[in-house]
Structure 1
Amino acid sequence: MSTRPTAPSPDASPARLCRWVLGLALRRRLSLLAVGATTLLKVGVDALKPWPMLFLVDYVLQAKVRPAWAQTWAEFLPGAESPANLIAWCVAATVMLFFLSWALGLVLSYASVSLGQRMVYDLATDLFAHLQKLSLRFHAKQSTGDNIRRVTADAACVSMIFKDALLPLATALASLLVMCGVLWRVEPGLTLLALAVVPWMAVVLRRYAKPMLDLGYQQQQVEMRLYQLTEQTFSSLPVVQAFCREELNDQALARANRDTIDATLALTRVQLRFKILMGLATAAGTAAILWFGTQQALAGHLSIGVILLFLSYLGAFYEPLASVMYTGLVVESAAGSAKRVLEVFHTPHEVNDPPGAKALGRARGEVRFENVTFGYEPERAVLRGISFQAQPGECVALAGATGAGKTTLASLIPRFFDPWEGRVELDGQDVRNLTLRSLRTNVAMVLQEPFLFPLSVAENIAYGRPRATQAEIEAAARAARAHDFIASLPKGYRTVLGDRGATLSLGQRQRLAIARALLKDAPILILDEPTSALDADTEHELLAALETLMSHRTTFIIAHRLSTLRRTTRILFLKDGGVAEAGSHEELLARGGLYARFWQGS
């Protein structure tokens, strides 16, 4: 499979979108070749289907003088001297051609769906990988439901453009080329008459294209609102139930469903009017051919077989003609989803590996901040001129009021963000010069909100070390004081947790998150409020265990609990984005400054 083609801009023209989709199809060259070959075969077979009927009517039933091609065919068939045998051969040829067309249609349908789904798979995989690497700043501004829809529903736009636009367009052009050539050679006058309704079809398409596009976009928007409402409700169900919002949410969902129904029906009504007018154009063309053809036949200028040939072709003639006109409409309708996909691809990775980035082995754990300034929004710095150094094995507490920048400071170590000014070093190397994978392999984190996956307990603990043994998993759980409650679960370590660990208490989730960080065995450990959800006895046991484990790691603890702060070797007290005070617990108390007042107030 070839590499992904360069994504056009989100505002690319329909033609540019089609070239991009074709580039995605070319990644699956064998599948595309199979679709193309099957399409050409089917077009050829469909063009041959009416000819046995023409031969039967004109040269068997009416016994007209056979032209060279008909005479050659008749002489080739065994028993051609007998009209009965010729009738049998014509019927057999018709059945064979219809069966072959049907079989090729099945193959083409399967091959095109298969290729379309593989294109969606390729695009969704690329999109998922790109989204995972985008900065937390990007994801903070995007809803989870919106990103899910981009990877699932919006990625399907490439299949829609390919299966419903490009493939029908290619098939239609091939069919029109073959049929127009055949019809023109047989009877130019009737061919021009068949094409006379094309301007009518073009006017109808122009009249209804924009309303169908606008209504299609409205339908997508109301469906998106319905999806977001459902996702928001079930992702925050405890809050919904606690505040008795069920009835209000039911009403909101009912309104969203009504809006979806109204939008769908409005679009359907316009589509039906469009199809009726296009059908009238087809009927008018067919009626004109029938009337003019019979007049010519009565005058002896045209055979009945030729009229039947034209009528047979017309059904397959107007449909691809409409497909050619309809292609732009299909692409435009998929452009909204394509734009949302392309917006992601054109969002740059704020944090990535620079050229020549070094792979770091196991770090010693020396962390240094040098005059670091950083903020999430321009002109609004959260950290200002932060400078400090943590020695290997040192335990540093980050303290301060809510919003002082503690979590932000810690997030710069694994490069979730890059500082505006200054540098963050690990073992004397700027972290921006290290590969992200090797840097983050050396850092284990317990986030303030412990996140668990709908996997087994063992899989959650081993999330950072998938190849860990059961003994190693249990050792980490014991160190995190989680083994006892895990053993009481129905299937122990094989118990599958609910979404986000909803079947466990917050304290239990926190202990599993700590076990996961400990099992990673990284030289740098970041604990964001690690004991905030634990009772006093469990906290005391866990901190005692952590002291032993932290002695071999450089540890940063973000904490408000004074019992946690007292166990650290150094405290950085943050205020207004800077380090206001630094020292041990006893030293800071003796100074009687900000930390002392914080301690006394707590």
Structure 2
Amino acid sequence: MADQSTVSLARRLWRDYLVRYWPRLALALAGMAVYSGANAAIAFGVEWVFAGLSGAGDDPAPLGRVASFGPLAIVGLGLVYAGALYAISRLNAGAALSALRDIQNDMFDKMTALDFAQLRGEVSGQFMARFTNDITVLRETLNRLANGVRDALTFAGLCIAMLWFDAILFAIVIVIYAIVGVFVARIGKMLRGASRKAQEQAGDLTALIGESVSGARMVKTYQIEPLERARASDAFDERMVVLKKMAYARALNEPVIFIAGSAAVAVIIGVVAWRISSGATTFSEFTGFMTALLLLSQPARGLGTLNAVMQEGFGAFERMLSLIDAQPTIKNAEGAFDLPPGPGAIRFDNVSFSYGDASKAVEGVTLDISAGQMVALVGASGAGKSTLMNLLPRLYEPASGRIFIDGEDITQVTLRSLRARMALVSQEAVLFNMSALENIAFGRPGASRAEIIQAAENAAANDFIAQLPNAYDTVLGEGGATLSGGQRQRIALARAFLKDAPILLLDEATSALDAESEAKIQDALKRLTAGRTTLVIAHRLSTVKDADMIVVMDNGRIIETGTHDELVENGGAYARQAALQLV
């Protein structure tokens, strides 16, 4: 997405997220008004005390009254100041954290809605960085924005006090701070670009570390630890350069504000002597003015650093919006209808697809699969088998041609109803860090415990699940880390049994298993495939030789079809492969 201005990003943040919590923010704003008023009152209180002590001014207070009410007034103002500060912080934090939660929900909703190709087009670390690093940066910005409003009100209140005490001295202060504002704005502009780069680097680092952890077995076996350390070191160095640039820029803010304050004080001291000698001001008024000026330094520093933090936060928010605003390219057609119930007959009609390069992953495929048939797709890696299977649930969209299920064009039916008709079991069983019961229940949310256990029994998974520490309530760990490969695959099969869909997609479901696990799963697969339209991808021909039809693919095209016996008798590509495997 194109770079957006700070104003447009701030408007979007308010309109889409913060405005939902306007009652809290309105109360916080009222607290800020009380807080800024207390600050200004301190300056007037100091002027009143000094006027009384010096006997100067138009109506100096008697010393007794100063001694009695002066300390009480200061303590009272301090209590008001502290109470308002606590209320502001609590109300702002609640609104900011609620808004951040809403942003995370929107990002996750959009991430799950994006197409398979869109998700694969960006490394997972970039997605994770948006939910972690970017959210942290924006949280700091929201906190500082709230403080910025408070500081702005306080700044305005103190400016009114200084203007009341001496308009000429106030004009000097404003001119000095206006000049400083130009430099602060330039620093903020530079930080915006650096912040965006830093967030991208955070995503790349997350991906790199994730690869090293998930690939630890390969890293250690091939002894490539030095290579991984070098990759990480280069990434850390690159990130350090950007973070240093940001840190050095931020470091300029407060010194610049401090110099401005020092210059203001220096000029004022020079001017005030002439003002007092000419009778234009009094010492007590000067004391009140200086108190206000000294109190002004804190909100001035806050406002000076706010721009830097705001630019970093809006850089992060811009990255979040790039996900929130992303639109899936595969979605329901206008007037899409639910796929009517049917037995699951499939037709590929002259289907072609490519991943964006010149070569086609699937080209001119026409294939009829009768309801209840088991059809095996075989061929070398890259022949187009997985691509053809992925086109069926519309994970990708064909460049040309059409696909029908029970006579209905799948682009005209709702994605929800289309995918409800299919169950997938892949080579790598996908399990979540949840209980065995919950992992199986994904097949049909809302299924009863009895139905889930029955599905596990059908998948030959009940026996080992019952032996787990908490049986079906045992948390399986990330990716099912506590289970063997065969056990993970049987959980995935149980999920497919529970879904009970008429179309079954099996993508190398037994290729990575030992002989004993494969035997158990093959028995379960016979029960699962009975009466269902089944599309199978397999490299081991022994697992598919009993299929109703075998489809041989090469370079995205179908080159042979038939039963095992027919293809062996033909003496083509399948027969040559069978001669190597089936001895």
Distance of 2:207 and 2:519 partners within structure 1: 42
2:10 & 2:26 partners in 1: Cα distance? 18
Aligned to 1:154: 134
Equivalent of 2:10, from 9, 18, 24? 18
Rate the CA distance shift 1:537–1:179 in 2: closer, same or farther, 3 A: closer
Name the structure 1 match of 2:46. 53
| Structure 1 partner of 2:543 | 564
Moved more, 213-222 or 15-24: 213-222
Q: 1:62 corresponds to which residue?
A: 55
Return the offset for 1:161.
Answer: 4.3
Partner residue in 1 for 2:109? 129
Aligned partner of 2:29 in structure 1 is: 36
Partners of 1:326 and 1:495 in 2: how far apart?
Answer: 50
User: Counterpart amino acid of 1:22?
Assistant: W
Tell me, in whole angstroms, the C-alpha distance in 1 between the residues paired with 2:374 and 2:70: 91
**What is the match of residue 98 of structure 2?**
118
Query: Which of 575, 579, 587 matches 2:558?
Result: 579
Q: Aligned partners of 2:268, 2:180: CA distance in 1, in Å?
A: 17
**Offset, 1:481:** 2.4
Structure 2 Cα separation of the partners of residues 168 and 595 of structure 1: 72
Q: Does 1:408 align with 2:387?
A: yes
Equivalent-residue separation in structure 2 for 1:388 and 1:262 (angstroms): 56
| Higher mean C-alpha deviation, range 313-322 or range 475-484 | 313-322
For 2:534 and 2:204, how far apart are their aligned partners in 1? 44
Q: 1:345 to 1:238 in 2, by over 3 A?
A: same
Listed as ranges, the matches of 1:344-493 within 5 Å are 344-360=323-339, 362-493=341-472
Distance 1:220 1:302, change over 3 A: same
How far has the Cα of 1:531 moved from its partner? Answer: 1.6
Specify the SS of the correspondent of 1:497.
Answer: coil
Give structure 2 stretches of 5+ with no counterpart. none
C-alpha separation in 2, matches of 1:328 and 1:280 = 18
Deviation at 1:153, TM superposition (A): 2.0
What per-residue deviation string (whole Å, max 9, x for no partner) do you get for residues 299-347 of structure 1? 5432233112211211343444455555543343334323322332343
SS in 2 for 1:20: helix
Q: Deviations over 1:247-283 (max 9, x none)?
A: 5545654665566566555644454344223212112
Per the alignment, in what secondary structure is the counterpart of residue 442 of structure 2? helix
Task: Provide the rounded CA distance (Å) in 1 between the counterparts of 2:464 and 2:441.
Answer: 17
- Distance in 2 of aligned mates of 1:568 and 1:371: 23
> What is the deviation of 1:593?
2.7
How far did 1:564 drift?
Answer: 2.0
Q: Secondary structure at the match of 2:377?
A: strand
Would the alpha carbon gap of residues 594 and 317 (structure 1) be closer, same or farther in structure 2, given more than 3 Å must change?
same
1:555 matches 2:527: no
**Aligned length, in residue pairs:** 580
The code of the aligned residue for 1:14 comes to T
Instruction: State the shift of 1:453 in Å.
Output: 1.4
Aligned residues of 1:289 and 1:311 also touching (Cα < 8 A): no
Comparing 564-573 with 198-207, which one deviates more in the overlay? 198-207
Q: Secondary structure at the match of 1:371?
A: strand
Aligned partners of 2:390 and 2:396 also within 8 Å: yes
Show the counterpart of 1:4.
none
Q: How far off its partner does 1:83 sit?
A: 4.7
Q: Which moved more, 1:119-128 or 1:288-297?
A: 288-297
Residue 581 of structure 1 aligns to a residue in which SS?
strand
Residue number in structure 1 paired with 2:143: 163
> How far off is 1:493 after superposition?
2.8
Of 89-98 and 291-300, deviating more is 291-300
Which amino acid is the alignment partner of residue 12 of structure 2? W
TM-score for the superposition, normalised by structure 2: 0.90
| Gap change, CA 1:108 and 1:443, over 3 Å in 2 | same
Change in Cα spacing, 1:299 to 1:87, as seen in structure 2 (3 Å) is: farther
Alignment CA distance shift 1:112-1:528 (3 Å): same
Distance 1:307 1:329 in 2: 33
1:108 and 2:88 correspond: yes
CA gap 1:265/1:346 in 2 versus in 1, 3 angstroms: closer
Task: Please identify, of 491-500 and 124-133, the stretch whose mean Cα deviation from structure 2 is larger.
Answer: 491-500
| TM-score between the two structures when normalised by the length of structure 1 | 0.87
Distance 1:261 1:421, change over 3 A: closer
CA 529–275 in structure 1, closer or farther in 2 if over 3 Å, else same = same
- Compare 298-307 and 380-389 and name the one that shifted more: 298-307
Q: Is the 8 A contact 2:253 2:305 kept in 1?
A: no
* Equivalent pair of 1:445/1:517 in contact (CA under 8 Å): yes
CA deviation profile, 1:513-565 (whole Å, cap 9, x unmatched): 12221122112111111221334454344334432332232111111222321
CA separation of 1:85 and 1:362: change in aligned 2, threshold 3 A: farther
AA aligned opposite 2:35: K
Instruction: Confirm or deny that 1:144 pairs with 2:133.
Output: no
What is the root-mean-square deviation of aligned Cα atoms in Å? 2.9
Task: Tell me how far apart the structure 2 counterparts of residues 549 and 223 of structure 1 sit (CA, whole Å).
Answer: 44
Q: Over residues 18-72 of structure 1, what are the superposed CA-to-partner deviations in whole Å (9 max), with x where a residue is unaligned? A: 2222223113322332333322332233222222222232246516433xxx9xx
Amino acid paired to 1:280: I
- With over 3 angstroms needed to count, the CA separation of the structure-2 counterparts of 1:492 and 1:156, relative to structure 1, is same
1:77 corresponds to which residue?
Answer: none
Residue of structure 2 equivalent to 1:178? 157
TM-superposed deviation, 1:231: 1.9
Corresponding residue to 2:513 among 520, 529, 534:
534
Residues 213 and 140 (structure 1 numbering): CA distance in 2 closer, same or farther, change over 3 Å? closer
C-alpha offsets along residues 111-153 of structure 1, whole Å, 9 cap, x if unaligned?
Answer: 2222222222111111111111111212222111111102222
**Residue 513 of structure 1 aligns with which residue?**
492
* Aligned amino acid, residue 141 of structure 1: G
Asked if structure 2 preserves the Cα contact closer than 8 Å seen for 1:510 and 1:533, the reply is no
Amino acid of the residue matched to residue 438 of structure 1? S
Equivalent position amino acid for 2:132 in 1: T
The aligned residue for residue 343 of structure 1 is: 322
The CA distance in 2 between the partners of 1:482 and 1:436, in whole Å, is 30
Identical aligned residues as a percent: 30
Describe the SS at the equivalent of 2:356: coil
Residue among 220, 223, 228 paired with 2:207:
228
Partner of 1:190: 169
Taking the aligned partners of 2:540 and 2:293, their CA distance within structure 1 comes to 82
Q: Assess, with a 3 A threshold, how the Cα gap between structure 1 residues 223 and 433 changes in structure 2: closer, same or farther.
A: closer
In structure 2, C-alpha distance between the alignment counterparts of 1:179 and 1:526, rounded to whole Å: 71
Q: Is the 8 A contact 1:373 1:419 kept in 2?
A: yes
The DSSP-based 3-state class of the residue aligned with 2:347 is strand
Q: 1:161 to 1:375 in 2, by over 3 A?
A: same
Larger mean CA deviation between 508-517 and 221-230 belongs to 221-230
CA contact (8 A) 1:394 1:551 kept: no
- Structure 2 vs 1, CA of residues 116 and 402 (structure 1 numbering), >3 Å: closer, same or farther? same
Partner SS for 1:197: helix
The 8 Å contact of residues 21 and 161 in structure 1, kept in 2 or not, is answered as no
Q: Residues 388-429 of structure 1, C-alpha deviation per residue, up to 9 Å, x if partnerless? A: 222322222122221111111111121111111122222222
